[in-house]
Structure 1
């Protein structure tokens, strides 16, 4: 548990387990703690899980730059290089999935395999009511969220707990910015698994569209699977955007994907 000085930011990360490196990236307002049983389950599978707290989250203090998916991706790539790793697997959930995706797009040389959980490839892929909710994220919502487990986890570890409204302001500003990574995602070189809940904040039709960008779901795989693509799509039944990482089948899905031969 320590800091890495990268890109002008003190990035907090924790290492759990031993084996092939897997960088794990959290959702918006989260800390590493909120991954719950998922993190130790991944570490127990013979992986060196490098859990990161992104700009302004948890132990990682903010700085004077805006919050953008692109700079978060740069931070993750810089951490991988800081640790002296030729490449690492990268898995992100929600906000962290955006950072993971940008890492693979902007720094393909450091990502071996990529797991993107619960984020659309373009901003209009969120349900309209989700977009309406992100429009309200800011200092006022930060005050209301002080009764939530998210704030309790943040307050326990943040070097400057009074920066909670700043985090909400910067995060809200980023989430309201339009993005469309369709063309870039179609060119991702890392073998990729997309993971969504069947009642996610992203329609399952969009998950299928994203998968199709990677070449998946466009044809029959044939009896011998000779036409199956290397990428994967997982839709977790009975889950929502907010409890997806708690699904007990997720560690097995992740391990199976990361362990599959090239």
Structure 2
């Protein structure tokens, strides 16, 4: 359990597993979802760290990492992660991010290719309109006034238990609401990604399967028969749709461990 000063942020991280970090077996940097923290991966951390070093990070304003005087944006959080990887001397790490953390992982790969070996994006859209309409409506209503109700949720309980300033929960909700209402479309940058990338979604996710298919197509997937020898596959990229999961439990599914391990070991 440690803190690192990166970009004016006192960022909290934990290291799990005792496997040596090498170029062939890099560390995994694991990024949580919105309003969460590294603790949310507790059910699968032992399996993920059984054969590799895993570093969980609490992003700006989340859990153990106190907020600073700047908006929460995927781009700046991605800069923080790249700075942390350099601070820890990890070389090129494998980055796995879920939901909000998936967006940060994606932006880190786009903005800081030199610190990323492989990328796993779990349950995050490439464009804002990938969310179902009712989810977009909920995002429009996300504001500090929701804090008293959100305190009763697992995210609120985690924040109350771990945050340096629990009274900042409303501020975090407001900043995350501001982030969620910003239109984005990363299509062109994703088409240019050269590092091996795996997309992981729940079979009952918060995005349509059409959006999942469109995301996969940006990486060259779903355009032709893969062929007997696999020569028609989209290079090193992979797509995994996990059965019997939703956006709200895919991050702790044993099937996620299987999908991630197979991809990173390939």
Bin for the TM-score computed over the shorter chain: over 0.9
> In the alignment, what sits opposite 1:39?
45
Q: Deviation of residue 246 (structure 1)? A: 2.2
C-alpha distance after superposition, 1:84-108 (max 9, x if no partner): 1220000000000000000000011
> In the alignment, what sits opposite 1:246?
252
> In the alignment, what sits opposite 1:182?
187
Number of residue pairs matched by the alignment? 259
1:113-262 alignment, distance < 5 Å? 113-229=118-234, 230-260=236-266
Secondary structure in 2 aligned to 1:233? Answer: strand
Q: TM-score, normalised by structure 1?
A: 0.97
Runs of at least 4 residues off by over 4 Å: none
- Bigger mean CA deviation after superposition, 77-86 or 30-39: 30-39
C-alpha distance after superposition, 1:120-174 (max 9, x if no partner): 1010111111111111111111111111111111111110000000100111001
1:60 to 25, 45, 65: 65
Secondary structure in 1 aligned to 2:94? Answer: strand
C-alpha distance after superposition, 1:219-250 (max 9, x if no partner): 11111112212101111111110011122221
Q: Deviation of residue 58 (structure 1)? A: 0.5
Residues in 2 aligned to 1:105 and 1:142: alpha-carbon distance in whole angstroms: 33
Secondary structure in 2 aligned to 1:86? Answer: coil
Structure 1: runs of 5+ lacking an equivalent: none
Residues in 1 aligned to 2:252 and 2:104: alpha-carbon distance in whole angstroms: 20
> In the alignment, what sits opposite 2:75?
70
1:14-29 alignment, distance < 5 Å? 14-17=14-17, 18-19=19-20, 20-29=26-35
Q: Deviation of residue 36 (structure 1)? A: 2.4
Structure 2: runs of 5+ lacking an equivalent: 21-25
Provide the aligned C-alpha RMSD in A: 0.9
Secondary structure in 2 aligned to 1:249? Answer: helix
Q: TM-score, normalised by structure 2?
A: 0.95
> In the alignment, what sits opposite 2:4?
4
Residues in 1 aligned to 2:102 and 2:130: alpha-carbon distance in whole angstroms: 14
